């Protein structure tokens, strides 16, 4: 396949979604639209669960949700497979690729040798596209990379059969049947994505998810200095910053990406009010960046007093208020 078009995006799952669906003729689909239609924006802080010995926080919805929701609402049939046998998994991949079909694969990044070593943790919800074979190499389009890349058969087997939480088990997926997608369908898909995101951010009845989750983390941040000391507390804050800003988020914990979605949604739906909400979400993204800057002061060891931890928490409370206001207003807008 020489005519494969690599598309670089902020986030891997958006990228795979956009690329595979564009190949099927859905040219309108951009990364922000896929993210918004799939209701990708979220916040959750899971207590009692530790990630790399730090707090377990996510700024986005469950892995896999964006692709699944976007395909479903656009009436795209998807074929998925997981495998017990590594041999069968490889044969299946070879057969698809040799038939000229690009496929999405879920992989672990620990053995993903084209990533910098510093980024290779046991994280198993990364996604990439395999679009061809060349000798013993697979041709790979990883949406977070600037160009296409390659993986040997051995390396591919390792990343597809990584172990631990969310183990991919050779998970492979690709669209098989795409019907006609009308403007009306796109508008409905956007409205549905927004409504589901309003629900996720405002109406999940728990204090750990949505805008209340942000306040929950803020209340923890106030206590960390006393509970674990400034050094460990700083490491916890560093973990928040990494979840929020690391490669894949588009900056500001996916908030800028969502603001871009609302801007495109406003054009698609012909509704100017969405621009106002987009600006509020941009403000939230900017505040997340401010908060990261403040947190960095602590984990660099420059400012380590209780008032400095409190300042971080104060910004997070402000973010929660901004996002609450934005999503409440969004819930009142008549979309279609």
10 contacts another protein (rule: CB under 8 A): yes
Give the x-and-dash track for 62-91 against another protein (CB under 8 A): ------------------------------
Stretch that binds another protein, among 18-26, 89-97, 144-152, 172-180 (CB under 8 A): 144-152
Residue 289 vs residues 218, 225, 245, 293, 315: alpha-carbon distances, Å? 15, 22, 8, 6, 10
Residue numbers 233-272 binding another protein by CB under 8 A: 234-235, 237-239, 241-242, 245-248, 250-252, 256-257, 259-260, 263
Residue with tokens 């800028």: 256
Stretch that binds another protein, among 37-45, 66-74, 211-219, 279-287 (CB under 8 A): 279-287
Q: Terminal CA-to-CA distance of the chain, rounded, Å?
A: 41
> What b/e readout covers 260-297, taking b as 16+ CB neighbours within 10 angstroms?
bbbbbbbebbebebbeebbebbbbbbbbbbebbebbeb
Q: At what angle do helices 306-332 and 210-245 cross, to 10 degrees?
A: 120
* Interface with another protein (CB under 8 A), residue from 185, 202, 208, 296: 296
115 contacts another protein (rule: CB under 8 A): yes
Closest to 15 measured CA to CA, from 39, 3, 36, 31: 31
Shorter beta-carbon distance to another protein: residue 90 or 232: 232
* Interface with another protein (CB under 8 A), residue from 167, 185, 202, 335: 167
Q: Rounded CA gap, 89 and 265, in Å? A: 39
Please, are residues 202 and 103 in contact by the beta-carbon 8 Å criterion? Answer: no
18 contacts another protein (rule: CB under 8 A): no
174 contacts another protein (rule: CB under 8 A): no
Stretch that binds another protein, among 17-25, 40-48, 143-151, 177-185 (CB under 8 A): 143-151
Q: Rounded CA gap, 76 and 235, in Å? A: 43
* Residues engaged in binding another protein (CB under 8 A): 8-10, 31-32, 52-53, 110, 114-119, 121-122, 144-146, 163-165, 167, 234-235, 237-239, 241-242, 245-248, 250-252, 256-257, 259-260, 263, 282, 285-286, 289, 292-293, 296, 299-300
């Amino acid at each position: 396949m020489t005519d494969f078009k690599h598309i670089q995006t902020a986030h891997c799952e958006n990228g795979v979604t956009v690329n595979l669906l564009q190949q099927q003729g859905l040219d309108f689909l951009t990364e922000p639209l896929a993210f918004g239609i799939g209701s990708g924006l979220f916040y959750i802080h899971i207590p009692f669960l530790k990630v790399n010995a730090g707090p377990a926080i996510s700024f986005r919805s469950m892995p896999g949700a964006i692709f699944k929701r976007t395909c479903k609402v656009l009436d795209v049939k998807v074929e998925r497979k997981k495998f017990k046998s590594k041999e069968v998994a490889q044969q299946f991949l070879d057969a698809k690729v040799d038939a000229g079909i690009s496929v999405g694969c879920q992989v672990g990044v620990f053995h993903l040798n084209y990533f910098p070593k510093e980024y290779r943790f046991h994280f198993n919800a990364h996604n990439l596209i395999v679009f061809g074979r060349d000798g013993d190499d697979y041709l790979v389009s990883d949406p977070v990379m600037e160009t296409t890349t390659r993986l040997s058969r051995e390396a591919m087997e390792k990343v597809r059969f990584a172990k631990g939480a969310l183990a991919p088990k050779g998970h492979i997926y690709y669209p098989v049947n795409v019907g006609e997608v009308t403007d009306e369908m796109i508008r409905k898909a956007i409205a549905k994505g927004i409504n589901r995101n309003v629900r996720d951010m405002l109406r999940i009845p728990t204090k750990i998810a949505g805008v209340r989750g942000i306040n929950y983390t803020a209340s923890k941040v106030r206590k960390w200095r006393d509970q674990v000391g400034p050094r460990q507390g700083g490491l916890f804050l560093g973990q928040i910053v990494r979840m929020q800003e690391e490669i894949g988020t588009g900056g500001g914990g996916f908030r800028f990406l969502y603001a871009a979605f609302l801007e495109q949604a406003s054009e698609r739906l012909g509704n100017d009010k969405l621009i106002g909400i987009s600006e509020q979400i941009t403000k939230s993204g900017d505040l997340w960046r401010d908060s990261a800057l403040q947190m960095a002061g602590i984990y660099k060891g420059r400012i380590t007093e209780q008032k400095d931890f409190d300042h971080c928490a104060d910004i997070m409370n402000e973010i929660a208020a901004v996002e609450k206001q934005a999503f409440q207003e969004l819930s009142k807008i008549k979309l279609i």
